[in-house]
Structure 1
Amino acid sequence: MTLAELAVTIGVLGVLGLTASRFGLSAIPAYLFAGIILGPNEPDIVQLVKPSEVTHFVSEIGLIFLLFFLGLEFSLERLVRSGRHVGLGGAADLIVNVGLGLLVGLIAFGPSFAALVLAACIYVSSSAIAVKALIDFRRLADDETDLVLAILLFEDIAIAAVLGFVATGGGGVAETAGVTTKAFVFVAASLAASRFLGAWIGRQLGRLELEFFLLAVFGFVIAMSAIAMELELSEAIGALMAGVILSESGVREEIEQRFFAMRDIFAALFFFAFALTIDLSRWSDLGWIVAIAIVATLIGKLGVGVVAGRLGGFSVRQGINAGAALVAHGEFTIILAQLAAGNAALSLEQRDDIVAFAGLYVLASATVGVVLMKESKRLGRMLRPAVALE
């Protein structure tokens, strides 16, 4: 990507994002649309930007900042409070949505390893899109966001094990258990650091001049993400835990103020780079699978949100809000498809179909999910109208 291409990209993102905001929508679908317009795949409109190491790096930074800001919003106390939702909500999400995803996979590919890969793609929600939408619609402080965070955290840990399975054609039990254990240990160590070291870290940061304060925070976030990746986990977990640690530092508000603009810029570029892989020309071949997958996702995610929400003490309306936040799929679905594309256990035709499905499914689910999230409170009032007092 050249500087000229970057300038045009930023301009297109700004215009489309502003247009979306004028209609009261999240900018996420607009950023995805920009990637489709300027990307190398069909439809052949401009083909200005191609996926490269630069776009991959930019999108990775965007994902890191989105998850870091989510972690900043959740103190250890709030995470502990939401911990009661992790087992219940996360397990329900895993059972229901992997089951529905496997059903779609069997319809598309029959009994095969490809069906398992498709099930994993349909199971895992997009942490990045969910967080961006929660920010756009000012819902980070809502009580049901605890349930959303718990399920997303459970999915991130589960997907750490699934990534190795998809990449190798089915890792052994010991390998899968090892990755899962590392994920739990990493999260537990991060929570302990938040509890016992958060205040000390805040005091050290508070003594720094602004320039070195920014460098220290940025370096800490990147380091946590790098450590997570070295442990064969997602960088998303590392960024999330970095935010949780610094949420107890006493300088959270200053961090948010200083990095707010950077988060939004890199988030826009993340969704743009993400959309460069979407090929709309495959819709004629795979549109029916995508449509079935979207229906399964709506049933599974909304159903889990309501059921897990009720069992966790939330109302049906709050459960609908939580489920709507989980409909959009994104970065992990694409990552799973890319890993599958290099797996010799799949035929070339299956690899091509899974990659194409992932792009189309992400575009459809992200658009439907963001719109549904915007309207979820209205939908909740329609399904569960308030009871008038006599």
Structure 2
Amino acid sequence: MTLAELAVEVALLGALGLVARRFGISAIPAYLLAGIILGPNDPNFIQLVKPSDVSAFVAEIGLLFLLFFLGLEFSVSRLVRSGRHVFIGGAADLVVNFGLGLLVGVAAFGFSFTAIVVAACIYVSSSAIAVKSLIDLRRLADDETDLVLAILLFEDVVIAAVLGFVATGGGSVATTAGVTAKALLFVGASLAVSRFLGGAIGRLLTRLELEFFLLAVFGFLIGMSAVAKGLDLSEAVGALMAGVVLSESGVREEIEQRFFAMRDVFAALFFFSFALTIDVGKTGNVGWMVLVALVVTLVGKLGTGILTGRLGGFSARQGLNAGAALVVHGEFTIIIAQLAAGNAALTLAQRNDVAAFAGIYVLVTATVGVVLMKESKKLGRLLLPTPAVD
């Protein structure tokens, strides 16, 4: 990737991001579309940019920032406050949607590790798009939003183990069990540090001048990622846990303020770089998967919202609103596919199919999901005419 290619890339990302905002949808599909248009794969539109060591490095930094910021939103105290919504809603979401996703994966790839990767892609919703849409639609104060955030929080916990498994699993049972055990221990240790040492870390950071504060936070992020890599886990797990540790530090808001712009720039480049690997010419291989996955996602997420909403004391309409917020898929689905692309347990053909599936699936669900969120209350009044509180 040359400087000229990077300039064209950034300009197009900015333009498409503005168009996406104009229509009230997430910019993630726009960034993926930019990579497909400019990338080297079929269909041959322009082919101005090719994957390179530079694009791979930029994408890796973007991945780390995405997960670091997600970790900052997590805290042990928040997990406790969310109470039964986390465990009832999260467990139901995992069983129903991972199970439905596994059916799609088995239908496409048989009983294999690749089927589990597909199930994970379908299971996990996009925290970034869901929360941003809730803010834009002014629904943060709605009662059922607590259920949405609780389920997303549960998914954040599960995803730490999933990322490690996807990146290095698929081998022998003993190897896979070992990787999963290390991931759980790493997550548990990070949660303990966050709970008992987070305040001390925050006080230390507040004593630093701004320049050294930024260097310390960035160094901690990279260091945790390196530790995870050294434990044969994914760097993504380390980045997520770096955010978790600092979530209880008392300087979370300052970290978010200082690094927010950097996160958005590198995240845009991450999605673009991933899209460079998507060969839309292979849509014929995965088109039916995307269609089936969309159907099971709508059924699974909406059904989970209504079911867990009723169990949590909400009306059916409120449950529908919650389920609609979970339909959107984005950063995690792409991250899982990206990590799977580096796993030797998948053949080259399987990696290409998973990448194409994940990219197109995110394009579809991120668009359909946001529209569904906007119209969920109208849909609830139409489908559930029984008087209920919205």
**Counterpart mapping for 1:213-362 below 5 A:** 213-312=213-312, 315-326=318-329, 329-339=333-343, 342-343=344-345, 351-352=348-349, 354-362=350-358
Distance 1:300 1:321, change over 3 A: closer
**Counterpart mapping for 1:128-167 below 5 A:** 129-135=126-132, 138=135, 142-143=145-146, 144-166=148-170
Counterpart CA distance in 2 for 1:368 and 1:53 is: 29
Could you tell me which runs of 5 or more consecutive residues in structure 2 were left unpaired when the two chains were aligned.
none
Do structure 1's residue 382 and structure 2's residue 385 form an aligned pair?
Answer: no
Which of 116, 121, 126 is the aligned partner of 1:124?
Answer: 121
Counterpart CA distance in 1 for 2:256 and 2:91 is: 32
Counterpart CA distance in 2 for 1:375 and 1:108 is: 28
Counterpart CA distance in 1 for 2:161 and 2:334 is: 16
1:246-286 superposed Cα distances (whole Å, 9 cap, x missing partner): 22222222211111110110111011011011111112343
Counterpart CA distance in 2 for 1:243 and 1:108 is: 35
Amino acid aligned to 2:168: G
Q: TM-score, normalised by structure 2?
A: 0.84
1:281-318 superposed Cα distances (whole Å, 9 cap, x missing partner): 11234322332233233333443344345445554035
* Native 8 Å contact 1:50 1:276 kept in 2: yes
* Native 8 Å contact 2:328 2:370 kept in 1: no
Q: TM-score, normalised by structure 1?
A: 0.84
Could you tell me which runs of 5 or more consecutive residues in structure 1 were left unpaired when the two chains were aligned.
none
Q: Give the aligned length.
A: 374
Counterpart CA distance in 1 for 2:267 and 2:118 is: 22
Amino acid aligned to 1:48: L
Counterpart CA distance in 2 for 1:57 and 1:333 is: 17
**Counterpart mapping for 1:59-74 below 5 A:** 59-74=59-74
Counterpart CA distance in 1 for 2:95 and 2:28 is: 29
Paired position in structure 1 for 2:367: 371
1:145-195 superposed Cα distances (whole Å, 9 cap, x missing partner): 1211212321331342354333x3xx21x3333222222222222122122
Q: Identify which range, 375-384 or 36-45, moves more after superposition.
A: 375-384
Paired position in structure 2 for 1:2: 2
* Native 8 Å contact 1:59 1:273 kept in 2: yes
Paired position in structure 1 for 2:177: 177
Post-superposition shift, 1:90?
4.8
Amino acid aligned to 2:152: V
Percent identity reads: 53
Distance 1:378 1:357, change over 3 A: same
Post-superposition shift, 1:83?
6.8
* Native 8 Å contact 2:28 2:330 kept in 1: no
Counterpart CA distance in 1 for 2:212 and 2:76 is: 26
Amino acid aligned to 1:13: L
1:235-255 superposed Cα distances (whole Å, 9 cap, x missing partner): 333222222222222222221
Post-superposition shift, 1:206?
1.2
Distance 1:165 1:356, change over 3 A: same
What SS does the corresponding residue of 1:249 show, helix, strand or coil?
coil
* Native 8 Å contact 1:317 1:377 kept in 2: no
What is the CA RMSD across the aligned residues, in angstroms? 2.9
Post-superposition shift, 1:140?
8.0
Amino acid aligned to 2:319: V
Post-superposition shift, 1:34?
0.6
Post-superposition shift, 1:218?
0.6
Amino acid aligned to 1:39: G
Counterpart CA distance in 2 for 1:84 and 1:7 is: 49
Q: Identify which range, 143-152 or 325-334, moves more after superposition.
A: 325-334
* Native 8 Å contact 1:101 1:120 kept in 2: no
* Native 8 Å contact 1:39 1:277 kept in 2: yes
Distance 1:148 1:126, change over 3 A: same
Distance 1:304 1:233, change over 3 A: farther
Amino acid aligned to 1:333: A
Counterpart CA distance in 2 for 1:212 and 1:123 is: 38
Post-superposition shift, 1:40?
0.8
Q: Identify which range, 330-339 or 92-101, moves more after superposition.
A: 92-101
